Chain A
Amino acid sequence: MAYTEEELKKELETKEYEYGFYTDIESETFPVGLNEDIVRAISRKKEEPEWMTEWRVEAFRAWEQMIEPEWANVHYKKPDFQNISYYSAPKKKDKYNSLDEVDPELLETFNKLGISLEEQKKLAGVAIDVVMDSVSVATTFKETLAEKGIIFCSISEAIKKHPELVKKYIGSVVPKKDNFYAALNSAVFSDGSFCYIPKGVRCPMELSTYFRINQAGTGQFERTLVIADEGSYVSYLEGCTAPMRDENQLHAAVVELIALDNAEIKYSTVQNWFPGGKDGKGGVYNFVTKRGLCETNAKISWTQVETGSAVTWKYPSCVLKGDNSVGEFYSIAVTNNYQQADTGTKMIHLGKNTKSTIISKGISAGKSQNSYRGLVQVNSRAENARNFSQCDSLLMGNNCGAHTFPYIEAKNKTAQIEHEATTSKIGEDQIFYCNQRGIDTEKAIALIVNGFSKEVLNKLPMEFAVEAQKLLEISLEGSVG
């Protein structure tokens, strides 16, 4: 692709920083509460076709019959679903010009991350779709992608412009009645990203979505659908932040990945929702359903760095349906203060010669609880399935907890499954070694944590890797003791 740096610069310059992070944007918010009318109203608002409305209503009816799950190793005050506004859209899109309006908290975070906003603008080669308070604000680089036949837009746009694709694939990996939060999302999702990579195309740049909850008292429910057609490749990034608020905000997203024959999807997440204050007040409830489907010879790789959210409940999974398909899961979950994370993956081996790898690193500090929960299932027809799992936990202080709940189910005699887990703390001798060489304790811990997480950090795309490393440091600030 003839995409010179010059052109890129030009494209970037002509686009102002319109995917902003402003706290005081006037927005249009629906009244709180949820009923069938609200679901229909959301659908009408988005000018959706009839089938989509019905699909939502069906999901809503199923949701009404469901009970909120309690099996996860997290404790929180259940959100009152009738006290949330299910739609909030920024009203004036032309107001995001001045940098002064940027949330100072966010600026500080960016400064801490060492990424100036100028630099942000120039994250070369990254096409970003920003979803703010549930509505997609802007998608950059659309034209460049369109040349290749790649569709990258908001899901509401996709419903209008590419209904055949959406209709075929939405709900095919995460059915609308899959679980409590997936059903809720299916009923009320307001926006999200849609991506389609045509046959044999290798997406020339990293695609990226940026999620942000801005408005108080709103829930964010995005829906992401990524389809990689036969022989294609795409790397997708997802970032999340939210400003500090005292009350808990709900985030219940659904991500569906479809990798057709010989396709490969790499999905990376850096999740940094507001984790709640030092006293455990506020923070985002992150209840996400992520799942990918692999056809023959396809590969899906999930990489996640979880540092935010008060409560995380997230299991990016791979259904290895096709023969020779590969699923990977690399995760770092850091919890501090009163954060709770119950996260892991599911690898469902259905096809022959399927392979999966799970590397999970949990770091808990403060008074937090960090759980790994994973499932490796080998079905009776999955000949020669292979799995390797490793979950390591690092504990800092004795007020936190690290837990592992690995489920392993094998129904085929040719399956080869290995699982290993360790729990340890940062060795005093390691810190002493660093101190001795003039590295202060805080830096030393950051260094050791970085080493501990290296295997996962290495899997992140360049832009994210730097950010993620810094994020780890920030999350663990003040946890030395």
Chain B
Amino acid sequence: MELKDKLVSSFFAYEDGLDVQSPLHDICSDAIKKFDEKGFPTKKEEAWKYTSLNAILKQNYSLFPKAETGLEFKDVMRYFIHDIDSYKIAFVDGRYSSNLSATSHDGLDVCLMSSALSKPKYRAIIEKYFNKTANTEDSLTALNTAFLKEGAFINIPKGKIVDKPIQILHFSTGKEPAMMLQPRNLIVVGEHAQVQIIERHQSLTENPVLTNVVTEIFADKRSLVDYYKIQNDNPGASLIDNTYISQEKESHASVHTFSIGGHLTRNNLNFYHKDERVMSTLKGITIIGEKQHVDHHTLVNHACPNCESHQDYKGIYSDRSTGVFNGKIIVEKEAQKTNAFQQNNNILLDDKATINTKPQLEIFADDVKCSHGCTIGQLDEDAMFYLRSRGIPTKEAKALLMYAFANNVLESVKIPEVKARINKLIAKKLGVNLGFEL
């Protein structure tokens, strides 16, 4: 049976578990209708021109894990940023794992989507924010909404500066031969509040996993949201990440995406400006090889005056890997004095590697400063020679230059431990030990 049919038919089984009276039920059944109508995106769609899901959709994914699997913290500790104190929300095969987590209701809510959806005290927040920014027309987002069950719910009240980072981890144990996960996160950051969040998806075996995650983030007035996505999964795992960020007046949201592992990764990162003087930062480092495929689709919708956005994506591609970057900036008529900047630099290391990039500007306002730059090239031969002539072996010299290339993005990482972790991951990916940290 095709995965689409399987999903649609199993929705009816899943529907039995829902309360027919709740407004949530309507949202879910509308969503499955949307998905049924549109199906999985194909290469014929402009947004999926360079990324084909065909191969990964062929797997016979189980949608609901049969048994709960307990994991010991020491077994998975290395996937956490464990050298700092943090709030943790961990999921194993889509279910909440209390022994891996450290949640809180003390002055802020770091808890579960399922409890936020069921408890009356969160009803107002859910009604106000849930499924509001997410693009209900997008078939994959609709699919996620239809099977809405679990995920992280973070609610930072007005004026709260969160004392330590929050980590969201999704593990898949590989108990099932193939597994499809659809976590749903909702993050509400109140006025003047500040938060740092780290998200990671990790499979523990080589078994195929398909994760279709949707994250909605609301940044209220003058809030600060700092989000890090670490994507270093096993070669069997594929990830479709849909993130929607809605920003109010003078808020600042930034998302860093580090794509190093995984079979196929697709990042749909969308920023919507709701008021003036908003600042958005989108940065990413992609270092992949073998037959990996990473696709970054970003959208910044400038709808209000005096807003800024900065994008900087660096990619290094070797072997037969494929990289895609599609950065879209829309500046609406009202959004005068917009300052939008976008940069995408790529290095191809092997003949079989491919990069497809499409920096796209759609501008309807006249008093704006918009620019984008895009390059594809190689490591500088003169620089290589310089390093080699000083006794640095080719491999290390190459790695040094690649570090330097990616450093622009790393510089703006605000949590030193995350920076150190990314450095290690990059060094491991490049197969070198430079003996220092940048």
Report which A residues bind B (CB closer than 8 A). Answer: 71, 378, 380, 393, 395-425
Contact = CB atoms under 8 A, between A and B. Distances in A.
A135 to B, nearest CB: 39
B378 interface: yes
B79 interface: no
B118 to A, nearest CB: 45
Interface stretch (B27-35, B123-131, B347-355): B347-355
A416 B355 CA distance: 12
B377 interface: yes
16 contacts: A401-B363, A404-B372, A406-B360, A406-B374, A407-B358, A408-B357, A408-B376, A410-B346, A410-B356, A413-B350, A415-B377, A418-B373, A418-B375, A419-B359, A420-B371, A423-B370
A409 B351 contact: no
A236 B281 CA distance: 48
Secondary structure at the B interface, as helix, strand, loop or mixed, is strand
Contact of A403 (B357, B362, B373): B362
Interface in B43-94: 46
A395 B365 contact: yes
Contacts of A409: 354-357
Q: Which 4 pairs show the lowest CB-CB distances between chains A and B?
A: A395-B366, A417-B376, A413-B348, A419-B374
B6 interface: no
Interface in B363-413: 363-378
Interface residues of B, number: 35
Q: Which of A71, A408, A415, A420 has the most CB of B within 10 A?
A: A408
B360 A404 contact: yes
Q: Which of B349, B350, B353, B360 has the most CB of A within 10 A?
A: B360
A403 B359 CA distance: 11
Nearest to A370: B363
A405 B360 contact: yes
Nearest to B46: A71
Contacts of B333: 398-399
A415 B348 CA distance: 8
Contact of B359 (A401, A414, A421, A423): A421
Interface of B: 46, 333, 336, 346, 348-378
A410 B361 contact: no
B351 A403 contact: no
Nearest to B50: A409
A421 B371 contact: yes
Nearest to A427: B367
Given A409-B354, A412-B351, A413-B351, A423 B363 contact: yes
A423 B333 CA distance: 14
A441 to B, nearest CB: 15
B67 to A, nearest CB: 45
A183 to B, nearest CB: 20
A378 B367 CA distance: 35
Given A413-B349, A419-B375, A423-B370, 6 more contacts: A398-B365, A405-B358, A410-B354, A414-B378, A417-B374, A419-B373
A403 B355 contact: no
Q: Which of B348, B359, B363 has the most CB of A within 10 A?
A: B363
Contacts of A423: 361, 363, 368-371
A416 B376 contact: yes
Given A393-B363, A419-B375, A410 B355 contact: yes
A294 to B, nearest CB: 21
A411 B363 contact: no
Contacts of A414: 378
A345 B354 CA distance: 21
